[in-house]
Homo-oligomer: A and B are copies of this chain.
Amino acid sequence: MKDVAARAGVGLKTVSRVVNGEPGVTLETESRVRAAIEALGFRRNDSARVLRKGRTASIGLVLEDLADPFYSPLSRAVEEVARANGSLLFAGSSAEVPEREQELALALCARRVDGLVIVPASEDHRYLEPEIAAGVATVFVDRPAGRIDVDTVLTDNAGGARDAVAHLIAHGHRAIGFIGDTEGIYTADERVRGYHEAMASAGLPVDEGWVSMGPTSPERVRSELDRMLSGPAPVTAVFSGNNRVTVTAVRVLADRPDPVALVGFDDFELADLLRPGVTVIAQDPVRLGRTAAELLFRRLDGIAEPPRRVELPGRLVARGSGEIPPPSA
């Protein structure tokens, strides 16, 4: 830090302010300090141990929705790794609003977290470059970072979606609907891609009414399902793009007189106790969270290696709903 201060021609306190995102530094001074930091390859990692004296080490987690049950075990897994490394975890959610993700991530940096685990809502993360240069370790999970190259832990979403649709095809279905999350969300786009790939590789045409992307609100999912099941080219099976969609799909299909096949992306509690049990592509949110946090603490331990991209497989769990044959098969 002394070297940075000397190079930038400012006091130690000013360097500390810039590193910690505290106010009271002009833009011109800040950019001089940042330049000095970059020139010297200054690692927050080293200074963190000093700055940390008298306060508790911490990492931040930015996720999409505190109330989505997919993120609950992921958050807890990150917290457990943090705890094992003597760190506290602070979590907050972006509610899928890019500006909020950025605000939250930078607010956590300003509060001197040593690292960030991010489920991104935005597509451009260059705003994190100064923080990363200042030594804040950063790992993306569930969705990749945009325009920066950092450690990333993902599920093989397209592969899982292909498996789901191939499973329905293997059980005799030709008219298969897909209800996914909003277009532009990485996982939603990957899953619809997997759907199209599986249909194409089986030589099956896709009616334009069979694919529906949008918010996962029960109202939208219900009306889209009703439309797909009763139109001129009705589907005999449904692939639901995430746990929020699946839960509504289960409700809608329970109200119908004839059984309709269903495979959901994401496992959920009690899926096995419903009648029929719900066939899913299970992600492993605990392993996603744990892997991301472990990569983060490797970086905080000073491991310098190129950014890693880890992709975890989805796993098809057959429970009954995905094995229902088409009506007149």
Q: Are A91 and B66 in contact (CB under 8 A)?
A: yes
Q: Are A55 and B107 in contact (CB under 8 A)?
A: yes
Smallest Cβ-Cβ distance to A107: which chain B residue: B56
Q: In the complex, which residues of chain B have a beta carbon less than 8 angstroms from the beta carbon of A89? A: 92-93
Q: How far is the CA of A112 from the CA of B68 in the complex (A)?
A: 28
Interface string of A158-185 (1 = CB under 8 A from B): 0000000000000000000000000000
Q: Are A67 and B76 in contact (CB under 8 A)?
A: yes
Q: In the complex, which residues of chain B have a beta carbon less than 8 angstroms from the beta carbon of A65? A: 76
Q: Are B88 and A92 in contact (CB under 8 A)?
A: yes
Interface string of A61-76 (1 = CB under 8 A from B): 0000111110011011
Q: Are B55 and A23 in contact (CB under 8 A)?
A: yes
User: Which A107-134 residues sit within 8 Å CB-CB of chain B?
Assistant: 107-108, 110-112
Q: Are A88 and B107 in contact (CB under 8 A)?
A: yes
Q: In the complex, which residues of chain B have a beta carbon less than 8 angstroms from the beta carbon of A60? A: 90
Q: How far is the CA of A260 from the CA of B53 in the complex (A)?
A: 57
Identify A24's interface contact among B21, B54, B250, CB under 8 A.
Answer: B54
A273 interfacial contact with B, CB 8 Å? yes
Q: How far is the CA of A24 from the CA of B68 in the complex (A)?
A: 41
A247 interfacial contact with B, CB 8 Å? yes
A270 interfacial contact with B, CB 8 Å? yes
Q: In the complex, which residues of chain B have a beta carbon less than 8 angstroms from the beta carbon of A67? A: 72-73, 75-76
Q: In the complex, which residues of chain B have a beta carbon less than 8 angstroms from the beta carbon of A254? A: 273
Smallest Cβ-Cβ distance to A53: which chain B residue: B23
A308 interfacial contact with B, CB 8 Å? no
Q: Which of A58, A89, A90, A108: most chain B Cβ within 10 A?
A: A90
A275 interfacial contact with B, CB 8 Å? yes
Q: How far is the CA of A67 from the CA of B290 in the complex (A)?
A: 14
A104 interfacial contact with B, CB 8 Å? yes
Q: A79-B93, A91-B90 are in contact. Are A69 and B69 (CB under 8 A)?
A: yes
Identify A91's interface contact among B21, B24, B91, CB under 8 A.
Answer: B91
Q: Are A22 and B54 in contact (CB under 8 A)?
A: yes
Q: In the complex, which residues of chain B have a beta carbon less than 8 angstroms from the beta carbon of A250? A: 270, 273
A298 interfacial contact with B, CB 8 Å? no
Smallest Cβ-Cβ distance to A104: which chain B residue: B88
Can you name 7 extra interface pairs (CB under 8 A) apart from A67-B76, A91-B92, A250-B270?
A58-B111, A67-B75, A69-B69, A90-B108, A254-B273, A269-B270, A270-B270
A–B pairs, 23, beta carbons within 8 Å: A21-B55, A22-B54, A23-B54, A55-B110, A56-B110, A58-B107, A60-B90, A65-B76, A66-B72, A66-B75, A66-B79, A68-B72, A69-B69, A88-B92, A88-B103, A90-B91, A90-B111, A250-B270, A251-B273, A254-B273, A269-B269, A269-B270, A274-B274
The 9 closest A-B pairs by CB, nearest first: A23-B54, A67-B76, A90-B90, A111-B111, A67-B72, A66-B75, A56-B107, A91-B91, A66-B76
Write the residues of chain A forming the contact surface with B, with a CB cutoff of 8 angstroms.
Answer: 21-24, 53-56, 58, 60, 65-69, 72-73, 75-76, 79, 83, 88-93, 95, 103-104, 107-108, 110-112, 247, 250-251, 254, 268-270, 273-275
